[in-house]
A and B are shown apart, each in its own frame.
Chain A
Amino acid sequence: QSVLTQPPSASGTPGQRVTISCSGSSSNIGSKDVYWYQHFPGAAPKLLIYKNDQRPSGVPDRFSGSKSGTSASLAISGLRSEDEADYYCAAWDASLSGWVFGGGTKLTVL
């Protein structure tokens, strides 16, 4: 069981907007920044969002992040087939003194 909770799967059709949730607690999301990573099987993970809602240079503005209380969300608008990947949220957990990941959400573009 992961410390952060994500839905195992999500789907959408090209052009749609999809949202992936990430639920935690006061010791992680509730008090620390949230990060989002995109991972294609066999490749290195890629940073999508840092500090809740900041996009690194080179990440399309179709990707956006938000946080409220002990939950966070990743939104992908204008869905494309190349967005089909696994998505993970992560945060520092003050109680564990370590980083924690969500279990990952497999996004399927129908």
Chain B
Amino acid sequence: EVQLVESGGGLVQPGGSLRLSCVASGFTFSNYWMTWVRQAPGKGLEWVANIKHDGSVKHSVDSVKGRFTISRDNTKNSLYLQMHSLRAEDTAVYYCAGEGENSSGWNRWGQGTLVTVSS
């Protein structure tokens, strides 16, 4: 069974840091692009960052550039999102998602982890 399990969310003060993790099972993690998508309360889905299967290529949305870093450890089937200088507007449920074969979309999703940035 394919599973993506996120962890690391929680309450953090503005300016603080947090590291999200996503552990994959049930598929060959090292073969696929992986992505972080978030949803702020009452808002729509927003793509945050993605990383190529071997970690050689990364992209991120402008609003998190210089603050968030996506990484992966294929030996641990794990995806990470290191978040620094957190702002209130980063408050959201963060989902990790995996892309299928041949750009067939994000067909694997975790249940999400909530990040709340508040004093």
- Tell me whether B107 and A56 are in contact (CB under 8 A): yes
Which of B7-15, B80-88, B98-106 has 4 or more CB atoms under 8 Å from chain A? Answer: B98-106
Provided the pairs A44-B110, A44-B112 are in contact, do residues A88 and B95 lie with their beta carbons within 8 angstroms? Answer: no
- Write out the residue numbers on chain B whose beta carbons fall within 8 Å of the beta carbon of A54: 104
- Chain A 86-108 interface mask (CB, 8 Å, partner B; 1/0): 10101000001111111110000
Cα A39 to Cα B37 with chains together (Å):
13
**Residue A45 is within 8 A (CB to CB) of chain B in the complex:** yes
**Residue B111 is within 8 A (CB to CB) of chain A in the complex:** yes
- Tell me whether A45 and B60 are in contact (CB under 8 A): no
**Residue A46 is within 8 A (CB to CB) of chain B in the complex:** yes
- Interface residue tally on B, bucketed by range: 20 to 34
Cα A47 to Cα B103 with chains together (Å):
12
- Interface residue tally on A, bucketed by range: 20 to 34
Cα A35 to Cα B45 with chains together (Å):
13
Cα A96 to Cα B100 with chains together (Å):
22
Provided the pairs A35-B105, A98-B60 are in contact, do residues A45 and B45 lie with their beta carbons within 8 angstroms? Answer: yes
Provided the pairs A39-B45, A98-B60 are in contact, do residues A47 and B107 lie with their beta carbons within 8 angstroms? Answer: yes
- Tell me whether A33 and B44 are in contact (CB under 8 A): no
- Tell me whether A51 and B95 are in contact (CB under 8 A): no
- Chain A 34-72 interface mask (CB, 8 Å, partner B; 1/0): 010101000111110111001010000000000000000
Instruction: Select one of B45, B59, B100 contacting A98, CB under 8 A.
Output: B59
- Tell me whether B110 and A51 are in contact (CB under 8 A): no
- Tell me whether A46 and B44 are in contact (CB under 8 A): no
Which B residues contact A (CB, under 8 angstroms)?
A: 35, 37, 44-47, 50, 59-62, 95, 97, 100, 103-107, 109-112
